Chains A and B, each alone.
Chain A
Amino acid sequence: MRAHDAIVIGGGPAGATAALALARRGWSVALLEKSRFPRRKVCGEYVSPGGWAALRALEAARGAEALAGPPVRRVGLFALERAIEVPMPAPAPEAPWGRALGRETLDTALLEEAARAGVRVLQPCAAVALRRAGRWQAVAAKDDDGPCELHAPIVVAAHGSWERGPLPTQSPRPERSPGDLLGFKARFRGARLASGLMPLVLFPGGYGGLVESDGGRVSFSCCVRRDALARVRAARAGAPAGEAVLAHACACARALREALAGARRDGPWLAAGPIRPGIRARGGAGLFRVGNAAGEAHPLVAEGIGMAIQSGWLLAETLCAHRRLPDEAELDAIGREYDRRWRAHFAPRVRASHAFAWATGHALHAAAAAVSGAPAILAWGARWSGKAAPMPQAQRP
């Protein structure tokens, strides 16, 4: 009987890493990705040290690292008239410095590596329903040829969190709220940003970040509250939303204005959201979440890709510590174990990101003044958000 050991839904960094790590251990894995690659995403593009460490452990980093932007060794704050920077805390011994890489390059490279490792990649192919009986699950999917069905005891939800969908791990249509955070992103050529510096940019109603990515391009990504976006757009009638937000941010942060003066945009603005920071509830037996589907920090701490890769790696490590084709009781126990390890490693940085987002959102002037008076707060914040943390451990030492 031919059935898979695991089916991964979603081919972004979390899903590709989980699939790759399982395939490296000899598992039979199918991965469904609904989009054709390469494709761009609303994303800060920074891959934190733990993410690169996991990719190195899977021998999947070399090609991507060669293309990525320079090592990010300094963290900064651009707010009001202030531009503050301090050294980034050094990564854990096994981890390199964080670096940025566009998702059209990173995601394509990881998925190709997974396919080379033996993962059966179905793309474009969208999962539309899940059902289970005993220890087996069926994933119903649709591709260009019509409906198909795949079977495995383990299903990995790696479909992100920002899009609605029919699966039990996807969010239904949420209520609109003025406090929703909407994401915007564009890349620029000819920007003047010190090499290896990643500044956080604060402005009323939101925050953003700058980092040099692949090909010498500087990525600007930001989040804006829905109500603030409406005001910003009303003040700049006729401008595309992304341009209006950037103009607002530049008007409120001198150093951002200077960094992008004379720069030209490379490609269109991308928008997404609302984003959903928080930690999701555990899936049912045999249904595991990775990446944003498991939980996400506020983008202010630039941990999205790093957490995605590391959670995929952590899940694979946890699964591989058990026998293949586990029964229902074992699946439930593995789920609890993965959940505990996920929370031990990632919950502190999710909570820290909430605190930082709250402080910058409610007291921008005070936050900027506090960092100006004590720049070490930036390094402390970077440390608290995991920039110096070791890789998550599947087995506690």
Chain B
Amino acid sequence: MTTPERLRDLLAKEFAIEPARLVPGARLEDLDIDSLRMIEIAFAVEDAFGVKIDDEPAQLMARIRTLADFAAYVEGLPAAPSPQPAR
């Protein structure tokens, strides 16, 4: 699966967002993702993709407008250096 596909899968399965709404151009606010919800999503992305997100929720929300932005952002992330710290 490609990164966009895996991200859509994660959002649909773990965050109960209707798959039909998960189109590349969908804006985060259209998907009811605000900075608070983004925290849990970001932790899930770190676990699922084995990456490390160094941004704060507010920074993420400023960088990412659409689902396509989100997938591109995840693809650009560095791999997590070691097993994820227990959070």
Contact = CB atoms under 8 A, between A and B. Distances in A.
B57 A151 contact: yes
B17 interface: no
A148 B36 contact: no
Given A149-B35, A151-B35, A325-B87, A2 B40 contact: no
Contacts of B68: none
A2 B36 contact: no
Nearest to B57: A151
Contacts of B87: 1, 324-325
Contacts of B43: 1
Nearest to B59: A2
Contacts of B57: 1, 3, 138, 149, 151
Contacts of A2: 53-56
Interface in A1-28: 1-3
How big is the A interface, by class? Answer: 10 to 19
Interface stretch (A126-134, A229-237, A304-312): A126-134
B46 A1 contact: yes
A356 interface: no
Interface string B24-65: 000000000011110110110010000001111110000000
A1 B53 contact: yes
Given A3-B39, A133-B37, A136-B36, A149 B53 contact: no
Given A1-B42, A1-B43, A151 B36 contact: yes
Interface in A142-180: 148-151
Contacts of B58: 148-151
A51 B87 CA distance: 33
Nearest to B58: A149
Given A1-B42, A325-B87, A133 B36 contact: yes
B20 to A, nearest CB: 23
Contacts of A138: 35-36, 57
Interface residues of B, number: 16
B54 A134 contact: no
Interface in A89-133: 131-133
A29 to B, nearest CB: 14
A32 to B, nearest CB: 14
Nearest to A138: B36
Which one of B39, B53, B55, B87 has the highest number of Cβ atoms from chain A below 10 Å of its Cβ?
A: B39
Contact of A132 (B36, B53, B55): B36
Contact of B36 (A1, A131, A324, A325): A131
A208 to B, nearest CB: 46
A3 B34 CA distance: 15
A319 to B, nearest CB: 16
A2 B39 CA distance: 9
B40 A136 contact: yes
A325 B53 CA distance: 18
A136 B58 CA distance: 13
A60 B62 CA distance: 38
Contact of B56 (A132, A151, A324, A325): A151
27 contacts: A1-B39, A1-B42, A1-B46, A1-B53, A1-B55, A2-B53, A2-B55, A3-B39, A131-B36, A133-B34, A133-B36, A133-B37, A134-B36, A134-B40, A136-B36, A136-B39, A137-B36, A138-B35, A138-B36, A138-B57, A149-B57, A150-B58, A151-B35, A151-B36, A151-B56, A151-B57, A151-B58
Interface of A: 1-3, 131-134, 136-138, 148-151, 324-325
Q: Top 4 closest A-B pairs, CB basis?
A: A133-B36, A1-B42, A149-B58, A1-B53
Interface of B: 34-37, 39-40, 42-43, 46, 53-58, 87
Given A2-B53, A3-B56, A324-B87, 17 more contacts: A1-B43, A1-B55, A3-B39, A132-B36, A133-B34, A134-B36, A137-B36, A138-B35, A138-B36, A148-B58, A149-B57, A149-B58, A150-B58, A151-B35, A151-B36, A151-B58, A325-B87
